[in-house]
Copies of this chain bind each other. A is one copy, B any other.
Amino acid sequence: MPNIIHLVLAHMDGLPDGNDGLGLFIVPKFLVNADGSLGSRNDVKAVSVEHKLGIHGSPTCVMVYGEQGGATGYLVGEAGKGLRCMFTMMNNARISVGLQGVALAERSYQRALAYARDRIQGFKLGDKSGKRVSIIEHADVRRMLLTMKTTTEASRALAYYAGSMIDRMRNEKDPAQAQLAAARVDLLTPLVKAWSTDLALETASLGIQVHGGMGFIEETGAAQYYRDARILPIYEGTNGIQSNDLVFRKVLRDNGAEARRFEDEMRAFLKNFAGKPSDDLDVIAAALDKAIGALAETTNWMISNAKSNTDAIAASAVPYLRIFSTVAGGYMLARMAYAAHEALLTDGANADYYNAKLMTARFFAEALLPQIYGLMTPVMGGHKTVMQISNEQF
């Protein structure tokens, strides 16, 4: 019989000063004997299973510890440093939840794509022959599918890029390089968590829309992604918390230094595009260059208002994270587009694949990256009434 381990953050009495009053404990279902065998039942009880909107494979329970005399727990790390211990887990979990968003979005896209290829309805625009076509031929269905494909590729690339920085943070021989990688991981973690999971919701919703009425039927499967995805912007720190983390701890604490270093890296990368005879690369580079400028302007606004108008910064954190992530996602797609353009010169056998990468990046540059221009004004001016309206006036 397997044992079950609970990780419990609990208040601790009688600790010395300078602690957070918490301890992180391992509380097993069965105590463990000295020889490693299972011992007696611990005072741990699941009193109910929650009825959740989604992720039904994961039974969330209301737990009761120690109601019948006391439960035994084993302290993890130091007493009074429980919150710090938990954040070690939490930071890993944030990247993982971001990847969960990418995975859900990918499944949702694949299912919608298969349906759009299969389902025959309507006629090709302007065709009077009466020939019915698959719905993938309809412009708006294509727009939805391309949005799903592009944002999923961008958010996956951003998560992998963050992963590569975790590797460098751990393995760089040069401590200065390792430290720079760590700063980049810190900056990217809230983007990966919040952006990937917001996109997972949007993608799962589009996935239902592509299915039409069939998407509303549970047996089709599209609805499950929509239900499952809804927890992602909430757990391991809501996306509002991620946005505050980005603004207050990752951008403002070093006065924008790491944010600017990332902007500089993106600008430097775009120099590779100069002189390449590609209309796609030209469009992508121009759109991204303009977007980096917009991000820089917004970041500077956040920095100059950091002290005088903290409430405004907090009220603008979510759209600011969206701007930052969208530009970072555009950078990821630009890197893929550049690699695809170079690969096309030598690998003609895979031209369809590489050309798809170029089109995906161009679609993002033309259709999705401009969203940030609809968010800059809100960030810099949309916060006034948020704090002005009284609680009673809502």
Contact = CB atoms under 8 A, between A and B. Distances in A.
Interface of A: 50-54, 113, 117, 125-126, 134, 136-146, 149, 201, 205, 208-209, 212-213, 215-219, 223, 226-227, 230-231, 233-235, 238-240, 243-244, 310-311, 314-315, 317-318, 352-353, 355-356, 359-360, 362-363, 366-368, 370-378, 381-394
A355 B393 contact: yes
21 contacts: A52-B216, A52-B217, A113-B394, A125-B310, A134-B391, A136-B391, A139-B387, A140-B318, A143-B318, A146-B389, A213-B234, A356-B389, A366-B378, A366-B381, A367-B378, A367-B381, A367-B382, A368-B382, A370-B382, A372-B374, A374-B374
Given A216-B54, A366-B382, A209 B227 contact: no
A392 B231 contact: no
Given A362-B384, A385-B359, A139 B315 contact: yes
Given A356-B389, A356-B393, A360-B385, 9 more contacts: A53-B218, A134-B391, A137-B391, A139-B386, A140-B314, A143-B315, A213-B231, A215-B234, A359-B389
Contacts of A117: 391
Protomer copies: 2
Contacts of A126: 310
B387 A140 contact: no
Nearest to A235: B213
B205 A359 contact: no
A238 B216 contact: no
B226 A230 contact: yes
A230 B238 contact: no
A383 B54 contact: no
Contacts of A352: 390, 392-393
Contacts of A374: 370-375
A201 B212 contact: no
A140 B243 contact: yes
Given A208-B230, A370-B377, A393 B359 contact: yes
Contacts of A318: 140, 143
A39 to B, nearest CB: 33
Contact of A385 (B208, B233, B363, B370): B363
Contact of A311 (B125, B234, B355): B125
- The listed residue with most B CB atoms (<10 A of its CB), out of A140, A219, A310, is A140
A156 to B, nearest CB: 16
Contacts of A215: 234
A369 to B, nearest CB: 9
The 10 A-B pairs of least Cβ separation, nearest first, read A374-B374, A367-B382, A139-B314, A370-B377, A139-B315, A356-B393, A140-B240, A371-B374, A53-B223, A363-B385
- The listed residue with most B CB atoms (<10 A of its CB), out of A113, A149, A213, A352, is A213
Nearest to A112: B394
A392 B113 CA distance: 10
Contacts of A377: 366, 370, 373
A140 B218 contact: no
A94 to B, nearest CB: 16
Nearest to A353: B393
